[in-house]
Amino acid sequence: MSAPEGEIVQFDNVGLRYGTEREILSNVSFTLFSSRFYFLTGASGAGKTSLLRLLYLAQRPSRGAIRMFGTDVITLPREKLPAYRRRMGVVFQDFRLVGHLSAFDNVALPLRVSGVREADLRGPVEDMLEWVGLAQRADARPATLSGGEQQRVAIARAVIGRPDILVADEPTGNVDPEMALKLLRLFEALNRLGTTVVVATHDVQLLRKVPDSLIMRLDKGTLADPTGALRYPPRRDGVRM
């Protein structure tokens, strides 16, 4: 059974616990649609990172159902999960770049892993570094890059494979406000090309920077709206932007 047109991810009453501890996430239900921009917000400890780990298939839930691209990924054999992971890009707050590789080689890594020939790598990787404003830093290793530059390399690496979904966990947490806005504009540009973008953040100021975004609010492991309804970011006067 395929998903209805436009629906790419569905969570249905998902719960997550580790061992015998209380649930970190409880009764989480929502649907993500293609080509939309979502913010996932909530206080520290609300469960944002845990929800994202479920979303990019690094963790299986304790209960509930998760469907991606029309497929039940919970019951999917583990050997088939990489094909779904390749349809996603992930950006981590701590960058997770490979320290001994140049910016070019970090961005090229997903293509090499997927078997793209070396002769076919250079053009796409150079284009991606140009897109994030780092064409002149292609040979630089992570230790010589600023935090903002490292995050842009991480974004380029995450999107080099043209993912259907980009998931970003607090991507602006280690950069200054000016760079945070630049990173957000990169996500918007990617979204305009058709990629669904999910950005987890506790920075409420960012929520007002993307007028057409939708917001999911987590509170102690549950969506603030139990129906999973999504909200447009409010303006200061309370009117939707």
Q: Give per-residue pLDDT as tens, 185-195.
A: 999 999 999 99
Residues 55/197, Cβ–Cβ less than 8 Å: no
Q: What is the pLDDT of residues 94-130, one digit of tens each?
A: 899 999 999 999 999 999 988 999 999 999 999 999 9
Query: Which pLDDT value is given to residue 207?
Result: 86
- Token couple for 51: 């929800």
Distance, in Å, from the CA atom of 45 to the CA atom of 239, rounded to the nearest integer, reads 29
Q: Is the pLDDT of residue 77 over 60?
A: yes
Q: What is the pTM of this model?
A: 0.88
Confidence of residue 175 (pLDDT cuts 50, 70, 90): confident
State yes or no: pLDDT of 1 exceeds 50.
no
Q: Are 93 and 173 in contact (CB under 8 A)?
A: yes
The rounded percent of the chain whose pLDDT value lies above 70 is: 91
Specify the pLDDT at position 137.
Answer: 96
User: What is the token pair recorded at 151?
Assistant: 């995050």
Residue 235: pLDDT band (50, 70, 90) is very low
Q: What is the pLDDT of residue 127?
A: 95
Cα–Cα distance, 38 to 214 (Å, whole number): 5
Residue 180: the pLDDT is 87
Quote the radius of gyration of the chain (alpha carbons, Å): 18
- pLDDT of 173: 83
Would you say residue 83 has pLDDT above 50?
yes
Q: Which residues contact 178 (CB under 8 A, 6 or more apart)?
A: none
- Position 2 confidence tier, pLDDT thresholds 50, 70, 90: very low
Whole-Å CA distances, 223 to 64, 156, 239: 15, 30, 22
Instruction: Give the span between the Cα atoms of 70 and 76, in whole angstroms.
Output: 12
Strand partners, 15: 63
Q: Which of 75-84, 144-153, 170-179 holds the top average pLDDT? A: 144-153
CB atoms within 10 A of CB 232: 15
